[in-house]
Amino acid sequence: MKRILSALLLALLAAGMIFAGGSQEAEAASSAAVSSGDGKYVVDTLRIGVASLPTSMDPTLNVGNATIRVHFNIFDTLIYADQDDSYALKPMLAESWERIDDYTLELKLRDDVYWHNGDKFTSKDVQFTFDRLKKNIPGNTLAQSLMNTIDHVEIIDDYTCRIVTSVVDPLLEIRIASSWGAWILPADYITEVGDDEFALHPVGTGPFMVESFSPEKVVMKRAENYWGEKPYVNTIEYINYPEASSRITALMTGEVDIITQLPLDQVPVVENAKGVNAVSLPISNIHVIEFYFDGEDPSNPVNDKKLRQALSLAVDRQMLSDAFWGGKAEVPRGHQYPDFGDMYFADYPVEEYNLEKARQLLAESNYSGQEITYELRNGYYTFGNEVAEAVTDMWRDLGVNCRVVFKDSEDDDTIVRNWSNSMRFPDPAGGLWLLWGNLEEWRWGHKPQAFLDAGNVLTTSLDKEERKAAARELMDIFREEVPAILLYYPVECWGVRDGLEWHPYASQTLNFRADAFWGTEA
């Protein structure tokens, strides 16, 4: 993975996608304190302009891009998947681990970890965390599905526990290292204050503790009782700027030090400004157009597979990439991610554009001219609005009656909407299967039995070749059934002021721990 990511970064550099900013530092809101002695300076206040903030500080609820940016710095997992080292598994809250048998993983926990409120971390917290995920707390579906192979946790002593799975799970270690719902939570604190209070005033074991949380801003302070190396920043403020123009202005004027979701066409603006720079990276995400269908309702036109196939074939993905992403958003080879390493199929065909074939399938379908609305939240995804308009133009050219509808929220019964599919961990089971097959009650009703069978092999087989065959079969069935139209791997851009040593990750987590962030000048 590290070799692949390095190659991507070199390709982007050669293509001019990673830009160096001006040599003089802009007037910034943050300040740096004295050097630590190794050339790393402690930043007093780091301000980050984001397009959206979490709606809850509970890291198991409504897990998404907005949440992992923040929660990554507050909570810890048992095992750490190091994205700077090909997702190598390293100790975090667990000092060591070993397989007792095919169903049991024994972990030796650190004995020097304290929660932000001063309570001691023990095996009880691990047991509580995974027991709690089995409860149907509103919003925990994705985190719950991530850990659905875990049956129970056995406490051996305060610093030894065993995770026991209900099936053979060859991926348990990387699963419990995921940033998408594997964070360990405080048993005594949540039991005392309740779920709602915890969601407002969380307690973690990570390097930062939450000082305040609102829809406009999240403020975190360095946790002085943190068990690991202290981070090189005292205070972090995540500030909500829904409009891209507002985020860019905040960066240019020094109101913030880093901004997320910098539009690609605005990168030259940041590049040419003094004291700031831009960095860009293909992320472990696929933008999709999702269909809602169950195969039964005759009034729902996308229940017709031939219509879904026609709509997919009518989308010129490369044109979308060229027009909005400068050709940098790659058309995927099926529902998979390059992060999969040797489980990635480089020979799988790219998503096809074939208008003639699409028209033939449309003629063979039961479509009779019903209006199809393509619904989306205004400005939620980078270029989401523009792509929606372009796609509906393509569908009208195909002969489909359609229009774009902007909504403030998403409805479960919306038959066509945009979505993004983020990888949960670097394996096919953490991509297509976890997002589309693992959730029993999802928008793709009546999944083919062959899809479910392949998913079972993928998640339980210890034979790598069997797993690879199952992963390819899942992609084949997904392409045939078209529960969603795969568009492209988006390129994410960040604006960063000079004087900061930091780099983003393809997973979209924002890491401000001591090994990943520091000031470079006083």
pLDDT at 488 over 80: yes
On average, the pLDDT of the chain sits at 91
- Predicted confidence band at 36 (pLDDT cuts at 50, 70, 90)? low
pLDDT > 90 fraction of the chain, expressed in percent and rounded:
83
Higher pLDDT, 232 or 27: 232
pLDDT at 22 over 60: no
Strand partners, 372: 402
- Predicted confidence band at 28 (pLDDT cuts at 50, 70, 90)? very low
Q: For residues 212 and 226, is the Cβ–Cβ distance under 8 A?
A: no
What was the pLDDT predicted at 358? 98
Beta pairing, strands 372-377 & 402-407: parallel
- CA dist 24 and 34 (Å) reads 20
What's the CATH class of domain 1-51+207-281+491-522?
alpha beta
Least confident span in 5-14, 59-68, 176-185, 269-278 = 5-14
Q: What is the pLDDT of residues 250-296, one digit of tens each?
A: 999 999 999 999 988 899 999 999 999 999 999 999 999 999 988 77
pLDDT at 11 over 60: no
Across residues 364-375, what is the average pLDDT?
96
Every domain of the chain and the residues it spans: 1-51+207-281+491-522, 59-201, 285-489
Most confident of 269-273, 354-358, 440-444: 354-358
Fold of 59-201: Dipeptide-binding Protein; domain 1 (3.90.76)
pTM of structure? 0.87
| CA triple 86-88-94, angle to 5 deg | 155
- CA dist 147 and 167 (Å) reads 12
pLDDT > 70 fraction of the chain, expressed in percent and rounded:
91
Domains 59-201 and 285-489 share a fold: no
| CA triple 513-515-518, angle to 5 deg | 75
Q: Which stretches within 18-177 are classed as H helix?
A: 65-71, 123-133, 141-146, 172-175
What was the pLDDT predicted at 413? 72
- Predicted confidence band at 440 (pLDDT cuts at 50, 70, 90)? low
Based on the number of CB atoms within 10 Å of its own CB, is 344 exposed (0-12), middle (13-18) or buried (19 or more)? buried
- Predicted confidence band at 178 (pLDDT cuts at 50, 70, 90)? very high
- Predicted confidence band at 442 (pLDDT cuts at 50, 70, 90)? low
- Predicted confidence band at 35 (pLDDT cuts at 50, 70, 90)? low
- Count the Cβ atoms, other than its own, within 10 Å of residue 296: 9
CATH numeric code, 285-489? 3.10.105.10
Across residues 198-213, what is the average pLDDT?
98
- Predicted confidence band at 379 (pLDDT cuts at 50, 70, 90)? confident
pLDDT at 446 over 90: no
Q: What is the pLDDT of residues 286-337, one digit of tens each?
A: 999 999 988 778 889 999 999 999 999 999 999 999 999 999 999 999 999 9
Stretch (H or E) spanning 211: strand 208-213
What was the pLDDT predicted at 21? 34
- CA dist 271 and 248 (Å) reads 12
